[in-house]
């Protein structure tokens, strides 16, 4: 009996301790338990269920209990809705219909001009204010009063209010002259008068014609049709022609020939002169010789010597009957510092000359023997042997390379081998069968067999961190929220990562410092990220597409 009592007591104490620790932590009810807001003590998550508040018919039973500020209930009786206890009493949360029934400072979207208005239904004035000062008042009798003081004098324009027949008030700006002396007629015309100008050859001198609503100022143009006029205007074309005659000629840049005239004369509207432009000779048109590239037609004969300073190309055969000199190198000069030589070779078939480039070594001594073998044909071969060496036989030179072993350097074969010395593999290494560490190959019992201890990397961080390629365990000692970014699950198939948050003795916010695990590619147990605030360790593994929590 005493033994049973002691067991029951132990279970009761354990449950109380567990309940106490659970009360200190956060609580989440519903889906996605790995993601909880650090600001909430209780979080609910569901896509088909909701939170059901206590339903009261009135406040008669709850008020005697002195409910604290912040309590929320739902009233099902008179004026039903959600109510929140405030310092002044129970306040109902307004619905969207109640909120839109008032005038909004950003305007309303359901205004009915036939029923809605701004104003009063009793005999009271409607007052408008800005900066807490009255600016406009509409009295109960409908009189509009503007409280607009300090109206400045204006000697040019005046703003006046005009009331139209339908009651619309409009502002108009009138010139100050409207209230003084004004021009009433112009050349006998009244109303809207237009002033126009007219210049043609039928007008003689300057005249004024007023007809209808237009006053026209007429002027004559001097030409052959108006030869009797003693003064008047010149047309632009006549003026340009007159100026061009006295401006002289300009010789401009040569141009490509378009005919056999050798050049052309044109009028330049910019310089107001005539431009003389000569053509350059081509293979089809005569002209001048320029300093640029040209092609001439017809046979040309040059008496005396002809010097060509630049590169000269001949598209047909060239017959050289005299001596031919190439460059300034004398026939017996052989510069030894030249890497290559250009050699002229004459064909014995058609006596044509071609240039060939040969290395300088072609004119010097070459290799005559290799390992005692003479050419012209020598071949290199590779063969296996017990030791590294070189042998020569016939026309073959054989490089003898042994297979690598525990005592000899050499080739890596496809058979079983034993290597000695430390080896480092810079990049990835794939083992398709099995690997034994700390024992013979015959001890293999799995893809990886370790007969001894194993050391895995561990990294300590104090803030947000992106898991590197060589990380296995990441330990966080933080004093604020931190994010651990996991690598791509696609390129890290089967990889295991452990993330552990430890207690920071220097921090006072261990319970609220949130660690967020975020995936670069793929998700974590179906989520883009998961978060936790407790001191705990999480083991995560990739299946080649997403990350999964294996243990926590």
303-359 pLDDT tens trace: 777 777 777 777 776 666 655 655 555 455 555 566 777 777 777 777 777 778 877
Q: Is the pLDDT of residue 81 over 80?
A: yes
Q: How many CB atoms lie within 10 A of CB 32?
A: 14
Q: For residue 21, name the pLDDT band (cuts at 50, 70, 90).
A: very low
Q: For residue 498, name the pLDDT band (cuts at 50, 70, 90).
A: very high
Q: For residue 408, name the pLDDT band (cuts at 50, 70, 90).
A: confident
Global pTM reads 0.34
Instruction: Round the average pLDDT of the chain to a whole number and report it.
Output: 77
Q: State the Cα–Cα distance between residues 95 and 288, nearest whole angstrom.
A: 96
Given this model, what pLDDT does residue 11 score?
35
The whole-number average pLDDT for the span 187-208 is 75
Q: State the Cα–Cα distance between residues 296 and 286, nearest whole angstrom.
A: 9
Tokens of 380: 């290199």
CATH topology of domain 455-551: Jelly Rolls (2.60.120)
The whole-number average pLDDT for the span 229-233 is 69
Q: For residue 8, name the pLDDT band (cuts at 50, 70, 90).
A: very low
DSSP codes, 264-300: EEEEETTTTEEEEEEEEP-SSS--B--SS-----S--
Q: Is the pLDDT of residue 87 over 90?
A: yes
Given this model, what pLDDT does residue 246 score?
60
Which is more confidently placed, 524 or 152?
Answer: 524
Q: State the Cα–Cα distance between residues 191 and 313, nearest whole angstrom.
A: 85
Q: For residue 466, name the pLDDT band (cuts at 50, 70, 90).
A: very high
Given this model, what pLDDT does residue 18 score?
38
The whole-number average pLDDT for the span 83-93 is 94
The whole-number average pLDDT for the span 374-402 is 75
The whole-number average pLDDT for the span 208-224 is 76
Q: How many residues does the chain have?
A: 552
């Amino acid at each position: 009996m005493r033994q049973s009592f002691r067991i029951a007591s132990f279970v009761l104490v354990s449950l109380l301790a567990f309940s106490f620790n659970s009360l200190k932590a956060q609580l989440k009810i519903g889906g996605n338990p790995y993601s909880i807001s650090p600001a909430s003590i209780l979080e609910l998550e569901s896509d088909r269920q909701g939170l059901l508040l206590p339903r009261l018919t009135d406040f008669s039973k709850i008020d005697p209990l002195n409910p604290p500020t912040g309590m929320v209930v739902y009233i099902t009786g008179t004026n039903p809705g959600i109510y929140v206890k405030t310092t002044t009493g129970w306040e109902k949360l307004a619905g969207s219909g109640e909120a839109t029934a008032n005038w909004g400072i950003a305007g309303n979207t359901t205004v009915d001009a036939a029923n809605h208005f701004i104003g009063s239904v009793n005999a009271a004035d409607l007052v408008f204010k800005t900066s807490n000062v009255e600016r406009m008042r509409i009295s109960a009798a409908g009189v509009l009063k503007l409280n607009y003081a300090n109206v400045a004098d204006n000697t040019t324009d005046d703003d006046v209010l005009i009331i139209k027949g339908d009651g619309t008030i409009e502002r108009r700006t009138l010139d100050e002259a409207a209230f003084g002396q004004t021009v009433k007629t112009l050349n006998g015309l009244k109303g809207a008068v237009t002033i126009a100008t007219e210049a043609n050859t039928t007008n003689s001198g300057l005249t004024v014609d007023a007809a209808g609503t237009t006053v026209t100022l007429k002027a004559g143009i001097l030409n052959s049709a108006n030869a009797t006029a003693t003064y008047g205007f010149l047309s632009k074309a006549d003026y340009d022609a007159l100026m061009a005659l006295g401006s002289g000629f300009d010789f401009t840049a040569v141009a490509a020939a378009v005919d056999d005239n050798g050049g052309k004369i044109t009028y330049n509207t910019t310089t107001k002169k005539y431009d003389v432009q000569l053509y350059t000779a081509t293979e089809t048109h005569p002209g001048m010789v320029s300093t640029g590239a040209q092609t001439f037609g017809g046979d040309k004969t040059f008496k005396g010597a002809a010097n060509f300073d630049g590169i000269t190309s001949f598209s047909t055969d060239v017959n050289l009957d005299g001596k031919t000199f190439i460059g300034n190198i004398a026939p017996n000069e052989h510069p030894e510092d030249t890497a290559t030589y250009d050699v002229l070779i004459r064909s014995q078939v058609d006596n044509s000359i071609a240039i060939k480039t040969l290395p300088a070594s072609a004119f010097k001594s070459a290799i005559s023997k290799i390992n005692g073998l003479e050419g012209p044909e020598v071949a290199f071969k590779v063969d296996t042997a017990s030791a590294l060496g070189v042998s020569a036989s016939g026309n073959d030179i054989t490089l003898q390379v042994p297979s690598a072993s525990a005592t000899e350097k050499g080739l890596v074969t496809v058979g079983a081998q034993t290597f000695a010395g430390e080896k480092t593999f810079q990049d990835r290494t794939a083992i398709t069968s099995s690997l034994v560490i700390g024992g013979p190959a015959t001890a293999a019992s799995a893809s990886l067999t370790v007969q001894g201890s194993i050391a895995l990397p561990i990294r300590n961080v104090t803030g947000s961190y992106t898991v590197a390629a060589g990380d296995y365990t990441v330990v966080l000692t933080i004093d604020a929220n931190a994010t651990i970014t996991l690598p791509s699950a696609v390129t890290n198939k089967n990889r295991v990562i452990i993330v552990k948050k430890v207690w920071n003795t220097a921090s006072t916010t261990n319970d609220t410092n949130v660690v967020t695990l975020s995936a670069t590619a793929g998700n974590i147990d179906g989520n883009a990220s998961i978060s936790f605030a407790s001191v705990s360790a999480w083991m995560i593994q990739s299946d080649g597409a997403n990350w999964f929590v294996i243990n926590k």
